[in-house]
């Protein structure tokens, strides 16, 4: 065992479990690639101010959870705690919004970092797949992203998740609601830190998970009662599009999410099998974020789905993904000449698109076959001096146990014919 261990609140992905994480990422990304979303990758760290302005200075993410540091050159940077601000920054810096083809539709995958109290489903290092549609205000975009996330989860076999939906209004109607909510909150018995939030962003108080706070919030004014006609009409169109697509959802008037940049549509995917960490993903519209970070007005919408949480949801439903075998053919050479011949055949199989591996280290037949079994190989190819003298190898089907002699030059063709 090494002297060192993974930092607290982080984890290593190792085979065979890592194959499930890769499959989840692929399942989430697949419908995005089929819907016009291009891949974007951003640095693992950014200027601290990008997140302070975008995510919100009053959020727990910025005030308590962000890994911030100063470089030797004096730059103040932070490990990225979320993806949207970075992706929007990259799109603006790359002038993607000036290409004249709005919205700019992007998807991404990567690791994110928050200094949180580690527990199952909540880590200090976590993996997400996200999508952003930048530069268009259209209820169909909001609905599209929710539908694509729903499609991704269902392609994995998940059934026991729910979609929570709300509207947070816009710059026209939110200030009126904000004033009403502040007046209500100031009459409650709240601690000093929560009272500070009342002045900075009172909606964040609604997201407080403490039971004593939630108890006092009974009777708080609801944002839905303050939405302007434009926001009401916009939200109703999103709801109608989801219903027409056969995607079920639940209206949740208290859903505000944990980031300050959201406007209008906000949504969350929750799975009740995960306990207190029930959110597996979520997102919403962020029409003012571009201006917050110094860009032009670019109404946008997006989401991020947690790979870690999705894997836990699969476990909660007892779903085992049908993963392709890492190895289809395992070659076992018996002797130096067989090593030369079978190594060439393994290379040929790989070039033909067949997953193949080789018995390294000069193991005997018994040890090599144990490795073949561990690899999950469908076939083994075994050859010794007598086989090669006859111009053949022994091809064994590891499922049926059947074995046949196959001409050396025909190994690749025979294997491929059996995989059809």
Give 135-175 pLDDT, tens digit per residue.
999 999 999 999 999 999 999 999 999 999 999 999 888 88
CA 74 to chain CA centroid, nearest Å: 33
User: How confident is residue 416, by pLDDT bands cut at 50, 70 and 90?
Assistant: very high
* Residue 418 to residue 292: CA distance in whole angstroms: 59
Q: Within a domain: residue 312?
A: yes
Residue 116 backbone zone (phi > 0: left; psi -120 to 50: alpha; other: beta):
beta
- Please report, in range form, the residues annotated as the binding site: 82-84, 114, 128, 132, 257, 261-262
Out of 316, 337, 357, pick the residue that ends a domain.
316
Mean pLDDT of the region 319-343: 93
* Residue 307 to residue 127: CA distance in whole angstroms: 5
Is residue 44 domain-shared with residue 66, that is, in the same domain? yes
- Tokens matching residue 242: 């989801």
Nearest in space to 342 (alpha carbons), one of 320, 372, 318, 319:
372
* Residue 372 to residue 378: CA distance in whole angstroms: 9
Is residue 303 domain-shared with residue 375, that is, in the same domain? no
Q: According to the model, what pLDDT value does residue 57 have? A: 61
Is residue 339 domain-shared with residue 269, that is, in the same domain? no
Q: How far is CA 198 from CA 18, 121, 171, 188, in A?
A: 43, 29, 18, 11
Q: According to the model, what pLDDT value does residue 21 have? A: 95
Query: First-to-last CA distance in the chain?
Result: 44
Is residue 308 domain-shared with residue 361, that is, in the same domain? no
Q: Within a domain: residue 39?
A: yes
User: How confident is residue 199, by pLDDT bands cut at 50, 70 and 90?
Assistant: confident
> What does R_g of the chain's alpha carbons equal in angstroms?
27
Q: According to the model, what pLDDT value does residue 304 have? A: 96
User: How confident is residue 209, by pLDDT bands cut at 50, 70 and 90?
Assistant: confident
The partner residues of 113 in beta bridges, in order of sequence, read: 125
Q: According to the model, what pLDDT value does residue 389 have? A: 94
For CA atoms 222, 228, 231, 232, the dihedral sign is positive
Mean pLDDT of the region 188-205: 83
Q: Within a domain: residue 191?
A: no
Out of 283, 316, 349, pick the residue that ends a domain.
316
User: How confident is residue 203, by pLDDT bands cut at 50, 70 and 90?
Assistant: confident
Is residue 38 domain-shared with residue 135, that is, in the same domain? yes
Identify the CATH number of the domain in which residue 308 sits.
3.30.930.10
Is residue 303 domain-shared with residue 163, that is, in the same domain? yes
Is residue 57 domain-shared with residue 144, that is, in the same domain? yes
Is residue 398 domain-shared with residue 256, that is, in the same domain? no
Q: According to the model, what pLDDT value does residue 54 have? A: 67
Q: According to the model, what pLDDT value does residue 193 have? A: 82
Nearest in space to 388 (alpha carbons), one of 409, 369, 358:
409
Boundaries of domain holding 261:
17-173+227-316
Residue 130: is its pLDDT beyond 60? Answer: yes
Q: Within a domain: residue 185?
A: no
* Residue 283 to residue 262: CA distance in whole angstroms: 8
Query: pLDDT averaged over the chain?
Result: 91
Is residue 261 domain-shared with residue 385, that is, in the same domain? no
User: Residue 331: what are its φ and ψ, rounded to 5°?
Assistant: -95, 130
Q: Within a domain: residue 179?
A: no
Nearest in space to 282 (alpha carbons), one of 256, 253, 247:
256
Give the CA dihedral 288, 291, 292, 294, nearest 10 degrees: 160
User: 358 versus 58: which is more confidently predicted?
Assistant: 358
Q: Within a domain: residue 92?
A: yes
* Residue 141 to residue 225: CA distance in whole angstroms: 25
- Cis preceding linkage at 362, omega within 30: no
**């760290």: which residue's tokens?**
45
Identify the CATH number of the domain in which residue 363 sits.
3.40.50.800
| pLDDT tens-place string over residues 47-106 | 999 988 766 665 666 767 889 999 999 999 999 999 999 999 999 999 999 877 899 999
Give the Cβ contact number of residue 415 at 10 Å.
Answer: 21
Out of 269, 284, 316, pick the residue that ends a domain.
316
* Residue 375 to residue 345: CA distance in whole angstroms: 18
* Of 113-122, 212-221, 247-256, the least confident: 113-122
Q: Within a domain: residue 214?
A: no
Q: According to the model, what pLDDT value does residue 60 have? A: 66
Q: Within a domain: residue 187?
A: no
Query: What percent of the chain is predicted at pLDDT more than 70?
Result: 96
* Residue 358 to residue 341: CA distance in whole angstroms: 12
Biggest distance spanned by C-alpha atoms of the chain: 93
Report the domain count for the chain: 2
Is residue 240 domain-shared with residue 126, that is, in the same domain? yes
User: How confident is residue 352, by pLDDT bands cut at 50, 70 and 90?
Assistant: very high
Query: What are the b/e assignments for 291-323, b being 16+ CB within 10 Å?
Result: ebbebeebbbbbbbbbbbbbbbbbebeeeeeee
Q: According to the model, what pLDDT value does residue 273 have? A: 86
| pLDDT tens-place string over residues 228-286 | 999 999 999 999 999 999 999 999 988 877 666 788 999 999 998 887 678 999 999 99
- Please report, in range form, the residues annotated as the binding site for L-histidine: 82-84, 114, 128, 132, 257, 261-262
Give the CA dihedral 357, 363, 365, 367, nearest 10 degrees: -90
Helices (H) and strands (E) in the chain, counts: 16, 16
Is residue 154 domain-shared with residue 301, that is, in the same domain? yes
Is residue 304 domain-shared with residue 333, that is, in the same domain? no
Residue 3: is its pLDDT beyond 80? Answer: yes
**């549609």: which residue's tokens?**
133
């Amino acid at each position: 065992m090494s002297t060192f261990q993974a930092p607290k609140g982080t984890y290593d992905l190792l085979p065979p479990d890592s194959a499930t994480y890769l499959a989840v990422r692929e399942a989430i990304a697949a419908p995005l690639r089929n819907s016009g979303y291009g891949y974007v990758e951003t640095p693992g760290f950014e200027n601290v101010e990008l997140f302070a302005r975008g995510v919100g200075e009053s959020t727990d993410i910025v005030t308590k959870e962000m890994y911030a540091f100063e470089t030797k050159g004096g730059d103040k940077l932070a490990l990225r705690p979320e993806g949207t601000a970075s992706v929007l920054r990259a799109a603006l810096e790359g002038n993607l919004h000036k290409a004249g083809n709005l919205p700019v539709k992007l998807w991404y995958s990567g690791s994110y970092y928050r200094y949180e109290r580690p527990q199952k489903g909540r880590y200090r290092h976590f993996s997400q797949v996200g999508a952003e549609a930048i530069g268009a205000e259209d209820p169909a975009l909001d609905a599209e992203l929710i539908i694509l996330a729903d499609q991704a989860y269902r392609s994995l076999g998940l059934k026991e998740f729910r979609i929570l939906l709300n509207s947070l209004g816009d710059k026209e109607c939110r200030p009126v609601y904000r004033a009403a909510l502040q007046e209500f909150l100031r009459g409650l018995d709240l601690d000093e830190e929560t009272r500070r939030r009342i002045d900075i962003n009172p909606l964040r108080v609604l997201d407080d998970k403490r039971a004593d706070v939630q108890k006092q919030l009974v009777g708080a004014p609801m944002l839905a009662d303050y939405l302007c006609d434009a926001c009401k009409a916009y939200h109703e169109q999103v709801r109608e599009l989801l219903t027409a697509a056969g995607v079920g959802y639940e209206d949740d008037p208290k859903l505000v999410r944990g980031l300050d940049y959201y406007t209008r549509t906000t949504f969350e995917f929750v799975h009740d099998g995960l306990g207190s960490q029930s959110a597996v993903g979520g997102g919403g519209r962020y029409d003012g974020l571009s201006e917050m970070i110094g860009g032009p007005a670019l109404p946008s919408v997006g989401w991020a789905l947690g790979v870690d949480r999705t894997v836990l949801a699969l476990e909660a439903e007892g779903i085992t993904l049908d993963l392709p075998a890492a190895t289809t053919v395992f070659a076992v050479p018996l002797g130096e000449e067989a090593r030369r011949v079978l190594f060439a055949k393994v290379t040929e199989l790989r070039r033909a698109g067949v997953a193949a591996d080789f018995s390294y280290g000069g193991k005997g037949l018994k040890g090599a076959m144990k490795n073949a079994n561990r690899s999950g190989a469908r076939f083994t190819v075994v050859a010794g001096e007598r086989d090669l003298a006859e111009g053949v190898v022994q091809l064994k089907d590891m499922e049926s146990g059947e074995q046949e002699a196959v001409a050396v030059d025909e190994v690749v063709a025979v294997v491929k014919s059996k995989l059809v």
